[in-house]
Amino acid sequence: MIDVAASTPAIRATGLRKTFRATDGSTVVAVDGVDLTIAPGEIVAFLGPNGAGKTTTVDMLLGLTRPDAGTVEVYGTDPGRAVRAGRVSAVMQTGGLLPDFTVEETVRAIAATHGRSDRVAAVIERAALTEIADRRVQACSGGEQQRLKFALALVPDPDLVILDEPTAGMDVATRQHFWDTMRADAAQGRTIVFATHYLAEADEFAERTVLIARGRIVADGPTADVRASFGGRTVSFRPPEDVVRPDGLDPAWLARVEQALAPLGVTGVEVSSASLEAAFLALTGDAPATAEPSPMSLDLTGATR
Amino acid sequence: MSATTTAVPAATRRPRPALATYVGLDLRRQLRDRVGMFFIVALPSFMYVVFGLGSDERVGSGNVAMYVMTSMATYAAVTATTTVAGTATVEQTMGWGRQLALTPLRPLAIVAMKAAVAMTVAAVAVALVFAVGALTGASGSATDWLLSGVIIWIGSAMFAIYGLAICLVFRGPNTPGIASGLIVVMAFLGNLFTPMDGLMLDIGRLTPMYGFAALAHYPQTDGWLPMGDHDPLWLPVANVLAWTVIFATLALWGIRRSRART
């Protein structure tokens, strides 16, 4: 019995492919041959820039969108059946709430559809919505609405929760609380898959990171490995104050640094600590060379190239 | 192996959806929408008071007040079902549909629940206008009165299809307003607000609300119109059937088109 449960993956997707027709009539490949197997109890980050195909993939995992090619199984059955059985639920990125329901009414309505009206109090408590239970949804902040959607996802007490950009609109404290809640859930054996473009979230929370870009999986492994194998090591240092100008570092000085470092085999220097970000930028390949230029920091990488 | 091992726990842990609870919540949400309910209930009642109050002349089996009351109840019921159906399509496109797609509900159950809400709001609207009429001098044969109420209530379902069709064909957040606005035009052409004759009546007979309104008045008037014309029963019946088919076709076309986009 336990063997069977362990051998049935929470998600098994093979060769997923989905194309859309753009407004100008051309076809856009949103997801292009995605293979993904996720075991029960895993915490997996689905990381990629906007437009990488995260949401489309999530939609196919939930049975909301039919793949053009490939197969999806959730707990060994088709996604629609798994959803109806209450084994899978999701927090979706866009919309999904009625503005003139109160928070509590929204939870009660969704609980009714699952036949789980007994769960209303528990999930409101869980998502820390008790204090705003009587507030209309339209009066809730983005973060509060996100928490409400999270509460709705918990209603069927699912084995697998798929979260699409779950912390969008949350402030730092709320985000922290949200992830604490998720950690507690994961500790109880719930499988958690979340799509995000916040590198820090994947880095901090996921055991495994699946990096997706342009509809394809470009890296998949333990988060630490993904970071280590692509992020490398970097050395940072502070330039002397007299070479820092409002518009960047003194180019003459930079040239001298380059010259001095070249014999040592140094080809790039990063100010920020080595992170998943390096892997993200290298693999997804659509980030500008200097994302956030600040005079004190690293125009150096660009300058030495 | 997996098919059987997962199916058994899934079946045992799955309680039945509490559809009545959902309908109750949705209905309460609809009824406390003050602006919406003003147009559905208060406005028709007000127009009845303006046009029909104290008119005790005989018309068929009742008086003029009853005739006007029936007209306004018809208008109220049509507004009710159009509004509910229209907002339902907007809710679906706003993402509530995606939320519901992640529940055990089948699409048919979702439509059925919304239909229940629409028909309940329509019943409330008709009951309120009739109550105002009964309290202010509308009088007539009780059976004709009841029969009119039932015809109005059932017939208003046709305008739920209309609301659905309009909102699917013209997409966007303002379409429920467009749908309600067109109703006013159709109500004039449907002989509900001012009595028509001559060319206007001939044109009106072809418009969507005419048949429904004529059927609503039939128990009281047997088809005789305020300006002396007469409708044989087949005319409003044919009108209702034809427009129901047209609205349903439009709605189906709209659904197909919205699916093709994704």
Give the confidence band of A290 by pLDDT, cuts at 50, 70, 90. very low
Task: Tell me the shortest Cα–Cα distance from A96 to chain B, in angstroms.
Answer: 4
**Chain A residues touching residue B2 (CB < 8 angstroms):** 4, 8, 75-77
Amino acid at B221: T
Examine the pLDDT at A93 and tell me if it is beyond 50: yes
Pick from A13-27, A135-149, A244-258, B125-139: least confident:
A244-258
Confidence of residue B125 (pLDDT cuts 50, 70, 90): very high
What percentage of chain B exceeds 70 in pLDDT? Answer: 93
Asked whether residue A275 carries a pLDDT value surpassing 60, the answer given is no
- Which of A49-53, A179-183, A193-197, B118-122: highest mean pLDDT? B118-122
Residue that is written with structure tokens 């229209």 in the block = B86
Whether residues B2 and A108 touch (CB distance < 8 A) is answered with: no
Q: For residue A286, what pLDDT is reported? A: 52
CB contact under 8 A, A87 and B15: no
**For A229, how many CA atoms within 13 A lie in the half-sphere containing its CB?**
12
Radius of gyration of chain A (CA): 23
pLDDT at A176 over 90: no
Q: Which residues of B235-248 are buried (b: 16+ CB within 10 A; e: fewer)?
A: bbeebbeebbeebe
% of chain B beyond a pLDDT of 90: 48
pLDDT over 50 (residue A291): no
Considering only CB atoms, A100 lies closest to which of B5, B33, B102, namely B33
Query: pLDDT value at position B211?
Result: 94
**Mean pLDDT in residue range A180-186:** 83
Å between B34 CA and nearest CA of chain A = 11
Whether this model's pTM surpasses 0.80: no
Confidence class of residue B149 from pLDDT cuts 50, 70 and 90?
very high
Average confidence score pLDDT of chain A: 80
CB contact under 8 A, B10 and A114: no
Picking from A10-19, A72-81, A255-264, which range would have the lowest pLDDT averaged per residue? A255-264
Concatenating the DSSP letter of every residue in chain A gives: -HHHHHHS-SEEEEEEEEEEE-TTS-EEEEEEEEEEEE-TT-EEEEE--TTSSHHHHHHHHTTSS--SEEEEEETTB-HHHHHHTTSEEEE-SS----TTSBHHHHHHHHHHHHT-GGGHHHHHHHTT-GGGTTSBGGGS-HHHHHHHHHHHHHTT--SEEEEESTTTT--HHHHHHHHHHHHHHHHTT-EEEEEES-HHHHHHH-SEEEEEETTEEEEEEEHHHHHHHHH------PPPGGGEETTEE-HHHHHHHHHHHGGGT-----SSPS-HHHHHHHHH--S-SSSS--TTS-SHHHHH-
pLDDT at residue A26 in the model: 84
Smallest Cβ distance to A116: which of B15, B101, B262?
Answer: B15
pLDDT over 90, % of chain A: 34
CB A13, CB A174: distance < 8 Å: no
> What does the pLDDT read at residue B3?
40
Mean pLDDT to the nearest integer, A113-127:
92
Mean pLDDT of the region A250-273: 67
φ/ψ (deg, to 5) at B176: -60, -35
Which of B142, B146, B149, B154 lies closest to B115, judged by CA?
B154
Residue B24 pLDDT > 50, yes or no?
yes
Q: What is the mean pLDDT of residues A248-273?
A: 67
Transcribe B191-207 into DSSP letters: TSSS---HHHHHHHTTS
Cα B106–Cα B107–Cα B112 angle in degrees, nearest 5: 100
Residue B115, classed as helix, strand or coil, is helix
pLDDT for the residue numbered B240: 95
Name the residue in chain B with its Cα closest to that of A4. B2
Q: Between B97 and B73, where is the model more confident?
A: B73
Cβ of residue B34 closer than 8 Å to a chain A Cβ? no
User: Looking at residue A273, what is its pLDDT?
Assistant: 37
pLDDT at A287 over 60: no
Chain B hits for A152, CB-CB cut-off 8 Å, are 99
**What confidence score (pLDDT) does residue A235 get?**
59
Higher pLDDT, A299 or A259: A259
Tokens of A123: 């999930």
What is the per-residue pLDDT for B5? 40
State ipTM.
0.81
Between chains, do B5 and A115 touch, taking CB under 8 Å as contact?
no
The distance of B10 to chain A (nearest Cα, Å) reads 5
- Chain A residues close to B6, C-beta within 8 Å: 8, 75-77, 85, 87
What average pLDDT does the segment A61-82 reach? 91
Average pLDDT of the segment spanning B178-204: 90
For chain A, give every domain's residue range.
2-228, 232-304
* Domain ranges across chain B: 18-261
End-to-end CA distance of chain B: 35
Nearest to B103 among A94, A101, A113 (CB): A113
Strand A69-74's sheet: what is its strand order? A27-38, A11-21, A69-74
What pLDDT band is residue A278 in, cutting at 50, 70 and 90?
low
SS3 call for B63: strand
Q: How confident is the model at residue A191 (pLDDT cuts 50, 70, 90)?
A: very high
Provide, as residue numbers in chain A, all residues whose Cβ is less than 8 Å from the Cβ of B95.
Answer: 92, 94-97
In terms of CATH, what superfamily is A2-228?
P-loop containing nucleotide triphosphate hydrolases (3.40.50.300)
* DSSP structure string for A44-109: EEEE--TTSSHHHHHHHHTTSS--SEEEEEETTB-HHHHHHTTSEEEE-SS----TTSBHHHHHHH
Minimum mean pLDDT range among A149-153, A280-284, B101-105, B110-114: A280-284
Taking contacts as CB-CB distances below 8 angstroms, the residues of chain A near B18 are 112-113, 115, 117
Tell whether B3 lies on the interface with A, counting CB pairs under 8 A. Answer: yes
For residue A117, which of B30, B100, B17 has the smallest C-alpha distance? B17
DSSP B39: I
What pLDDT sits at residue A14?
93
pLDDT score of A296: 33
A142, A96 in Cβ contact below 8 A? no
**Over 80: is that where the pLDDT of A5 sits?**
no
Identify the pLDDT of residue A132.
94
Interface contact B101-A64, CB threshold 8 A: yes
What's the length of chain A? 305
> B17 and A97: CB-CB below 8 Å?
no
Are B95 and A92 spatial neighbours (Cβ–Cβ below 8 Å)?
yes
Given this model, what pLDDT does residue A121 score? 94
Comparing A91-105, A118-132, A165-179, which segment has the lowest mean pLDDT? A165-179
More confident residue, B127 or A303: B127
Using 50, 70 and 90 to split pLDDT, how confident is the model at A258?
confident
The partner residue sitting opposite A85, judged by closest CB among B14, B25, B105, is B14
User: B99, A97: Cβ pair inside 8 Å?
Assistant: yes
* Closest by Cβ to A100, choosing from B14, B29, B100: B29
Q: Which pLDDT tens digit goes with each residue over A20-54? A: 887 787 888 889 989 999 998 889 999 888 888 88
pLDDT in tens, B228-241: 889 999 999 999 99
Show which of residues 87-126 on chain B sit within 8 Å of chain A, judged by CB atoms. 91, 94-96, 98-105
**Residues A189, A212: contact at Cβ < 8 Å?**
no
Whether A76 sits inside 8 A of B98 (CB atoms) is no
Nearest CA in chain A to B88: A98
Instruction: Name the pLDDT band for A298 (thresholds 50, 70, 90).
Output: very low
Query: How many angstroms separate the CA of residue A300 from the nearest CA in chain B?
Result: 45
Judge whether residue A231 has pLDDT over 70: no
Residue of A nearest to B33 (CA): A100
